[in-house]
Structures are given as structure tokens and as C-alpha cells.
Structure 1
């Protein structure tokens, strides 16, 4: 169960942020509505929300997940792999001290984006991507193992971030898409497989009593509800244009 969540309002500079998509320019007014609905969905999940104000100096900073890895016991301040995003950790460092007595850091030349890190109970999976390098992944693996967690490093082949194609839903159930479907590390889980045409919906988040999913994927919603999950659908078009998904927009702990 999560008790707290950190989110950050998108700034007007968001439309100038990093992206690999060809989905067009985000509509800022629509973006704010979608973000507001995201926060309302989290409120429905019965968590305390720390709402950070926008920072126009960092267009991508609404994607707070990449700045830290949080558990109920400790915090790791990441060292994001994109140079234009690295300064985002300054404000996140201050916020973490409102919730944790201290934190551990990923140090250069290591880089980690939180979007490449998935926790499944006592096991962590760390993706090596364009934003998370081997040195950063090994630093995080050591930090986690020293605190009693199992940690596996997975070089990515297809996805931008690890959590682009995977989500843990508790009770040994794992949503999997693309390169993760047949990966041996996930054979121990009860698999909910997402086909290629619905891959964006693999980035969903379990927050206490609900699974929050992007709207427009009825097959994914039906699969989740067939497994007994209550779902909340949210439009995500303006975040998808900047390579963002549901998990990217919050830190949950």
C-alpha cells in the first residue's frame, strides 16, 4: 500500500521538452486538464499528495519518476541520463527531505532514470537504456542488495524505459509487453500479456485499490477487470506526445 505521492505541475515550457515521438506538438491547455485528472485519480486512491509547482527551466520535470527511486524505508536520488534533465534533482532533493531523514545518491559517471526501475515486492528490475547506463545500474543494484532486496539488471532492446513495457500489480501478477513477454526473469509471475498494438497501456500503475490505465485500451481494461482489479481510465495523449506514461508522472511510496 502507498501512503504518499509526489507530483509536479507541467510548465508552459513542457512543449519544448525531449521526445522521440512523431505525435505532434502538445496542447498545453489540454495537458493541464489531463494532469489535473491524474491528480484527482490519485486522490481517489487515498494517498497524501505533495504537489510541486512547475519549473520552466526544466520542460520535462513533470515526469518526476525519473528523479528518484523510493521505497517506504529509503530514497535514492537518481542521476538522470539526459543532460537537460539532470538539474531536476535539485528541487527533488529538497522535497525528499520532507519525507525521508536522508537519501542515497547515484553518482557520475553512473546515470539512472527512475523510469528504468521496477519494484515487485522484494525484487527490483533495473533496465539499461539510453538514459540508464551500466555504471548507474550497478550502483543502484548494490544499494538495493545492501538493504536486503534482490536486484536484476536488464539491458533493453526495444523500449525507451523499462517501465514502458512492464508493470507489477501485486499478488504475483505482472503486466508484460514486447521484449519482456518471454524474458526468463519474469517466468515466475502470473503474466498479463499486452499485444503490440496496445503496448502503451502496459505502462499502468497500481495505487492501493485501483489500477490507473490510459484510456483507449478496452482490451487491457477488460483483462485487468477479469483479474479482479478496479480500474480508472485517464486520457494521456498530451503526455504520450513527449514519451510520457502514467508511471512517469508520480513518485509513489
Structure 2
């Protein structure tokens, strides 16, 4: 069960964020509205939401998931693989320290982004990607070993982050894109397979029995509903333009 969430407001410089999508520049005011609706949904689900102020020095800083990892035993400050995002850790460190007695950090030459880290019970699955390297995964494994967690490295194909293509909905269930269903670590899970044309919907978040999904993906919505989950749909068009998904916008613990 989650109790706390940290988010950061989008900044006006969001329009200069990193992207591989060919969807045009985000509309800042529309992004503000969508982010506000996201925060309202989290509050509706009973979470204590900390909203950090926008920081125009960092166009991508709304995606707070990438700069820290929150576990029940410790916090970890990451080291983003995108060089333009590395100094974002300076604007999250104090907040992580305020929530956790024990905080560790990923050091050079390691890189690790939270979008590559998926926790299932006492195991972390970490994507080896363009943003997260083997040195970063090793450091993270060494940290988690001290706290009784296991870490498995997952080699990714042509996706940005692990959680771009798979999300855990509790109850031994994954929402997953077709190209990831054969990964050895995921064989024992029930799988809700997202059709290729709805791949963006694979990034969704489970919050205490309810699944938040991006609006506009009816096949995935129906599959999740049939699996027995309550659903909240949120517009995510402006964050999709920056390769961002629902999980990217918050640190949940």
C-alpha cells in the first residue's frame, strides 16, 4: 500500500525537454492542467501528496521518478543517464532525506534512472537501457543487498525505460507490451498484453487497488477492467510528447 507521493509541477521550459517522439512540442498550459488532474487523482486515492515547485532550469524535472528510488527501507538518489538531467538530483535530495533515515546515492561511472526500476515484493527488476548502465545496476544491487532485496538485470530492446513497456499491478499481474512477454523473469506472472497500437498504455500505475491509465486506449482499459481492477483515466497527451508516462510523474512510497 502506498501512503506518500512526491510530484513536481511542470516548468515553462518543459517545451525544451528531451524527446524522441515526433508529436510536436507540448503545450505548457495544457500540461499544467493535466498535471493538476494527476495530483487530484492521487489525493482522491487517499495519498499524502507533496507538490514541489517548478524549476525552470530543468525542463524534464517534472519526471521526478527518474532521480530517486523510494523503498520501504531506504531512499536512493540516482544518477541520470541523460547528462542534461544529472543536476536534477540537487533539487530532490533534501526532500528524500526528509522522508528516509537512510539515503544512498549512485556514483560515477554508474547511471541509473528510476523509470528503469520496477519493484515487485522484495525484488527489483532493473532495465539495462540507454539511460541505465551495468555499473549503475551493480551499485544499486549492492545497496539493495544490504537491505534484503534482490535485483535482477533486464536487457531491453528499443524502448526508453523498463517501465515504458511493463507495469506491475500487484496480484502477480503485469501489463506488458508483446515484445517483452518472453523475458525470462516475467514468465511466472499473469500478463495483460497491450496491443502494439496501444503500447503507451503499458505505463500505468497501481495505487492501492486502483489502476491509473492514460486516456484513449480502450482495449487496454477493458482488459484491465476485466482483470478486476478499478480504473481512473487521465489525459497524458502533453507528457507523451516528451516520452513521459504516468509513472514518470511521481515518486510513490
Q: Into which bin does the TM-score normalised by the smaller protein fall?
A: over 0.9
Distance in 2 of aligned mates of 1:177 and 1:144: 27
Distance in 1 of aligned mates of 2:61 and 2:90: 11
* Aligned counterparts, 1:1-253, within 5 A: 1-253=1-253
**C-alpha RMSD of the superposition:** 0.9
CA deviations 1:112-142 (Å, max 9, x no partner) are 0100000011111001111111100111122
Distance in 2 of aligned mates of 1:78 and 1:165: 21
What is the TM-score with the length of structure 2 in the denominator? Answer: 0.98
Structure 2, unmatched stretches of 5+, are none
Q: What secondary structure sits across from 1:86 in the alignment? A: helix
What is the TM-score with the length of structure 1 in the denominator? Answer: 0.98
Asked whether the equivalents of residues 158 and 179 of structure 1 are also in contact (C-alpha less than 8 Å), the reply is: no
Distance in 2 of aligned mates of 1:121 and 1:174: 13
Aligned residues: 253
Asked whether the equivalents of residues 73 and 102 of structure 2 are also in contact (C-alpha less than 8 Å), the reply is: no
CA deviations 1:215-245 (Å, max 9, x no partner) are 0011111111111100000010000000000
Ranges of 4+ aligned residues in structure 1 off by more than 6 Å: none
Distance in 2 of aligned mates of 1:64 and 1:235: 18
Distance in 2 of aligned mates of 1:193 and 1:178: 6
Asked whether the equivalents of residues 54 and 62 of structure 2 are also in contact (C-alpha less than 8 Å), the reply is: yes
Distance in 1 of aligned mates of 2:119 and 2:179: 18
Asked whether the equivalents of residues 66 and 115 of structure 2 are also in contact (C-alpha less than 8 Å), the reply is: yes
